[in-house]
Amino acid sequence: MNRAPRLEIDLDKIFHNAHALVQRLDCHGISVTGVTKATLGSPDIANVLLRAGVKSLGDSRIESIESMHDANVVSKMTLIRTPMITQAARVVKCADISFNTEIEVIRQLSVEARKAGRTHRVLLMVELGDLREGIMPDDLVQVVRETLRLPNIALDGIGTNLACRSGVSPDVNNMAKLTELAKLVEATTGQSLNMVSGGNSANLTWALGDAPTGRINNLRLGEAILLGRETLQREPIPGLHTDAITLVAEVIESKIKPTKPWGHIAQTAFGVRRTAKDRGGVLQSIVAIGRQDIDPEGLEATRGIRICSASSDHLVLESTDQKLPIGAEVTFQLNYSALLRAMTSPFVGKLHNHLGQAKSPRRGSLQAAS
């Protein structure tokens, strides 16, 4: 029996999404690094991405890269968050490339790479306005020079990350700036750059548009592959599946209840004050999942079921048409935030089909190709 709650992961749909994005970006001279962080470095999903043609795998946690390594996933591995200096030895051992923003860390990677008798490749991340990680553009050439002097370190390229902390959109201006910086580095240091990595799923609108892509020859894609959406407006990407991953939870209570709580009203378990309008009696159910496992704001239920609220272990639903039976399963769509938490919860099972064994796509689940 399939236990609940669980994520149902359709590897065929993930393959389709990854393959479609790899093909479309290839026409623009852009390779794809498949980002596995939302799956905690799942070897099954990693292998699907590789079969779909991603050039390398990227994860933000060295632990996940190590587990893919241990599961014999054969790929170039990129650590896409700047390494903790205390993890330098582990990074050098399991990651082929790491993204970096601090020369102090790169020096330590050099020390560890030398001890291990290896060359570690680094990609320098540049700040282009989103104010998360990155070297300030004016400092880039100096950091490149210092990096090039370090033994057992090779400079793979430069990159940037937008639309994560501040929602700054990748566009012709900031992408042209990255191209300009790549040219500047090459002109002033004589070092040619292998990779110029322009960003994440938020870059797709720019990359697949009409504007020239300049020197940018790589994107790192996670969400767009798993959820089939671009991430600036969260619009479905034409031709991709938006339901490759769904969440299933089980009904543990189902009653007609009033909509207005009674008694003196103070804070809820999560520190908010609720005001409820009296709408009379409704069909209220509880499914056995909560904030420990999901972000309730990031769930969408099927027609006729409304998500009302959530505490640690209870998700409260209202159904408009019928009383949900005890033990029944309710299916939800997830956004990235809900997916991340569900993947991380040990209480949520992860169930996937084997590649090529899936039923044909459910009607209406495939976004029309443009």
Ligand X SMILES: *Cc1c(COP(=O)(O)O)cnc(C)c1O
Assess 35 for contact with ligand X (CB under 6 A): yes
37 is catalytic: yes
Token reading at 23: 């093909």
Assess 242 for contact with ligand X (CB under 6 A): no
Q: Which residues pair with 299 in a beta bridge?
A: 334
Q: Which is nearer to ligand X, 209 or 325 (CB)?
A: 209
Binding segment (CB under 6 A) for ligand X, from list 22-30, 220-228, 292-300, 340-348 = 220-228
Cβ at position 39, least distance to ligand X in Å: 11
Q: Which is nearer to ligand X, 162 or 324 (CB)?
A: 162
Cβ at position 22, least distance to ligand X in Å: 14
Residue with tokens 């320098």: 124
- Calculate ∠ Cα 125-126-130, nearest 5°: 110
Assess 200 for contact with ligand X (CB under 6 A): yes
Assess 231 for contact with ligand X (CB under 6 A): yes
Query: In angstroms, what CA-CA distances link 195 with 101, 184, 300?
Result: 16, 14, 38
Token reading at 211: 């504007």
Assess 341 for contact with ligand X (CB under 6 A): no
Q: Which helix (H) or strand (E) holds 226?
A: helix 223-227
Q: Which is nearer to ligand X, 112 or 223 (CB)?
A: 223
Q: How far, in Å, CA of 359 to CA of 354, rounded?
A: 11
Sequence-ordered list of residues with C-beta below 8 angstroms from that of 80, at least 6 positions apart, any chain: 33, 35, 37, 58, 59, 60, 99, 220
Cβ at position 132, least distance to ligand X in Å: 8
Q: Which is nearer to ligand X, 37 or 69 (CB)?
A: 37
Return the percent helix, strand and coil in the chain, to nearest 5.
30, 25, 45
Token reading at 12: 């065929």
SS3 call for 174: helix
Assess 245 for contact with ligand X (CB under 6 A): no
Judged by CB under 6 A, the residue of 20, 52, 80, 178 near ligand X is: 80
Q: How far, in Å, CA of 237 to CA of 110, rounded?
A: 41
Assess 223 for contact with ligand X (CB under 6 A): yes
Assess 83 for contact with ligand X (CB under 6 A): no
Q: Which is nearer to ligand X, 64 or 213 (CB)?
A: 64
Give the largest Cα separation in the chain, rounded: 74
Q: Which helix (H) or strand (E) holds 114?
A: helix 103-116
Instruction: Find the binding residues for ligand X in span 119-158 (CB under 6 A).
Output: none
Q: Which is nearer to ligand X, 231 or 319 (CB)?
A: 231
Which of these is catalytic: 13, 37, 177, 359? 37
Judged by CB under 6 A, the residue of 37, 69, 229, 352 near ligand X is: 37
Cis peptide before 261 (omega within 30 of 0): no
Cβ at position 117, least distance to ligand X in Å: 29
Judged by CB under 6 A, the residue of 17, 42, 201, 284 near ligand X is: 201
Residues engaged in binding ligand X (CB under 6 A)? 35, 37, 60, 80, 161, 200-201, 220-224, 231
Q: Which residues are catalytic?
A: 37
